[in-house]
């Protein structure tokens, strides 16, 4: 049908665009957040981990979708293993990236506290432990993919194997990926604002912390708004799971589900471009990476000047 053709073209070309822009954006994010000015900050570590997780999820999510639009499938003997592995390495890193943002919100909440003990949690050594803990927990949560998902013998589909698995997976997506993390982000952000307003500040926050807070707010807004359609679609499917549906209604639901999935997967590509638009400091750190000659002049000129003075 016409709707199926549109859906196929949408998956193909939107996935290709997001794959290219997401690769460029996340790679540059990794370089920016490992620069000397940012790499020793606990919040920057969460941004760096988010970019790495987004890169993994980006390729696992989009490459298979693009190949399917060209009728390229796995062989029947590899279908089950490929389905389980690809699904796990799609949702595990994407879920981890949203929880890294939640951890960054908790880091800003701790750093704004009047309690010395609370502020001690805003350290790079704590961030490293939290990142490792999130990875372990998310891997355990999404291990159900190896049990609940299966591909058909022809290798054309990858879906939950039973109705129970389908229901469990829907709730898992809502709790650990699309709905619960934005709620935690909102709560922690609100508590951070209360901290800043109600405690006496004896010294101004550093420019670095203010800029990182701006980047975090932008990231939270992107995650929240882009996750909303997917959450609504999953809740709708769960409430209508026992209804008799016509083929036309199923086709429309599949199309809207594809749109919602592409929207939430665009989370993996948006952060770099939003950071560039909203943060002057991020742009300042990005320029030496894009214009190598400028960075070289900045490094060489002081040396030449010192040498000339010595002579």
Provide the pLDDT for residue 21.
Answer: 95
pLDDT at 311: 36
Q: Pairing state of beta strands 158-160 and 149-151?
A: antiparallel
Partners of 149 in the beta sheet? 160
Residue 152 lies in a domain: yes
Supply the pLDDT for residue 218: 86
Is 270 inside a domain boundary? yes
Task: Let me know: does 131 contact 103? Beta carbons within 8 Å.
Answer: yes
Residue 181 within any structural domain of the chain: yes
- Residue 16, judged by CB atoms within 10 A of its CB (0-12, 13-18, 19+), counts as middle
Q: State residue 297's pLDDT score.
A: 45
User: Within a domain: residue 74?
Assistant: yes
Q: Residues 76-129: pLDDT tens digits? A: 656 788 888 888 999 999 999 999 999 999 998 888 777 788 888 888 899 999
Under-70 pLDDT residues of the chain: 75-78, 152-156, 196-208, 292-311
Domain with 135, as residue range(s), is 2-290
Give residue 67's Cα distance to chain centre: 23
The first and second tokens of residue 69, run together, are: 């639009």
The residue with tokens 């805003």 is: 122
For the chain, the domain total comes to: 1
Q: 306 in a domain, yes or no?
A: no
Whole-number Å distance between alpha carbons of 14 and 219? 21
Residue 303 falls within a domain, yes or no? no
DSSP string over 176-241: IIISHHHHHHHHHHHHHHHHHHHS--SSPPPHHHHHHHHHHHHHHHHHHHHHHHHHHHHHHHHHTT
Q: What is the predicted pLDDT for the residue at 154? A: 61
Residue 295 forms part of a structural domain:
no
- Length of the chain equals 311
Task: Measure the CA–CA gap between 261 and 237, rounded to whole angstroms.
Answer: 14
302 located within any domain: no
- CATH number for the domain spanning 268: value is 1.20.1070.10
pTM recorded for the entire structure: 0.86
For residue 259, what pLDDT is reported?
93
């Amino acid at each position: 049908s016409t709707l199926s053709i549109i859906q196929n073209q949408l998956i193909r070309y939107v996935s290709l665009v997001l794959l290219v822009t997401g690769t460029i954006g996340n790679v540059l994010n990794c370089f920016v957040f490992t620069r000397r000015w940012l790499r020793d900050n606990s919040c920057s570590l969460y941004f760096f981990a988010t970019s790495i997780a987004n890169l993994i999820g980006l390729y696992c999510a989009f490459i298979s979708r693009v190949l399917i639009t060209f009728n390229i499938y796995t062989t029947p003997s590899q279908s089950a293993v490929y389905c389980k592995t690809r699904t796990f390495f799609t949702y595990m890193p994407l879920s981890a990236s949203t929880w890294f943002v939640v951890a960054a919100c908790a880091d800003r909440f701790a750093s704004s506290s009047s309690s010395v003990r609370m502020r001690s949690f805003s350290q790079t050594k704590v961030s490293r432990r939290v990142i490792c803990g999130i990875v372990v927990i998310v891997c355990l949560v999404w291990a159900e993919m190896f049990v609940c998902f299966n591909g058909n013998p022809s290798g054309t589909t990858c879906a939950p194997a039973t109705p129970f698995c389908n229901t469990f997976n829907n709730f898992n997506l809502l709790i650990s990926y699309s709905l619960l993390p934005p709620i935690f982000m909102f709560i922690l952000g609100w508590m951070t604002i209360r901290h800043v307003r109600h405690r006496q500040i004896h010294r101004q926050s550093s420019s670095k912390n203010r800029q990182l807070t701006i980047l975090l707010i932008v990231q939270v807004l992107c995650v929240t708004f882009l996750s909303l359609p997917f959450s609504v679609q999953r809740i709708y499917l769960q409430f209508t799971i026992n209804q008799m549906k016509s083929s036309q209604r199923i086709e429309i639901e599949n199309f809207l589900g594809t749109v919602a999935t592409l929207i939430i997967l665009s989370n993996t590509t948006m952060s770099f471009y939003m950071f560039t638009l909203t943060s002057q400091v991020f742009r300042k750190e990005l320029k030496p990476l894009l214009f190598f000659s400028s960075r070289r002049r900045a490094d060489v000129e002081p040396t030449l000047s010192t040498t000339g003075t010595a002579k």
